[in-house]
Amino acid sequence: METKRCKSCGAQIYADEISCPYCGMSDFEAEARANEPPVTIDFGEKAQPNPEPVKNENVINGIVGAFLFSLGGVVLYFILYQLNYIAGVVGLVTFSLANLGYGIFSGTKGKGSVKGVIISAVVMLIMIAVAEFLCLGYLVHKELGEELGLTLFESIRVTPKVLTAADMWGEVAGELGIAYLLGAVGAVAAIVSAVKQSKNAQAQ
C-alpha cells in the first residue's frame, strides 16, 4: 500500500491517512503552521545596568588633603634652598601634590575637578609663601641667632624686620614670583584637563 511522510513529524504513514496517527496533525494543518510567521515573545526592555552612583565632591576633605600633600613641596623647597638651588622650581611640584591630595581626599581623583584645581592653586600660593618664610627664618637664625641669642622660633618671628632692614623684599618677591609662575603653568594645564573631563562626562 502506498505510503507518505507526515509533513509535521516526518513519520511514515499510509497515503490515505487524513491525519497522522503519531502526532495527530493533518497535511493541511502542517502546511498552515509552516506558513505562519514566527512567534516572538516580548519580555520588555532589557534591564539596563545600574549606573555607578556619582559621589559628591567633599570639598572640606579635599582642602585638608591638599594642605597635607603640599607639605611635601614645602620640605623640598626648604632642602633646595639650603643647597643654593632655585627653590622656585618646586612651585609646580607643590601644586601637583596639592591637586593630588585634593583628588584623593575629596573623591574626585582621576575625574577632573575645576573647583579642586582652583583650591589646589590657592593652597600652592599659601604653602610656597610659608616655605619661603621658613627658609628665610632659618637663614636669619644661622646668621644672627647665636650672636643675638635667638631661638629658631624667635628668629622666624623677627625675619620681617630683618628683611626690611636689609632691603631684601625685592629679592624675596623674585623668588616667590618664579615659584608662582611655574605653579601657575601646572594649574592652567590641570584646569584645561579638568574642563575636558567634565565635558566628556556630561556628553556620556
pLDDT in tens, 43-59: 555 555 554 444 688 99
What is this structure's pTM? Answer: 0.63
4, 20 Cβ separation under 8 angstroms: no
Query: Which stretches within 55-89 are classed as H helix?
Result: 59-82
103, 110 Cβ separation under 8 angstroms: yes
116, 101 Cβ separation under 8 angstroms: no
Reference 98, options 60, 63, 56; nearest CA is: 63
List of E strands, the chain: 3-5, 12-14
* CB proximity list for 58: less than 8 A, separation 6 or greater: 105, 106, 107
Q: For the segment 90-136, what is each residue's pLDDT rounded down to a tens digit?
A: 888 888 899 999 999 998 887 778 888 899 989 999 999 999 889 88
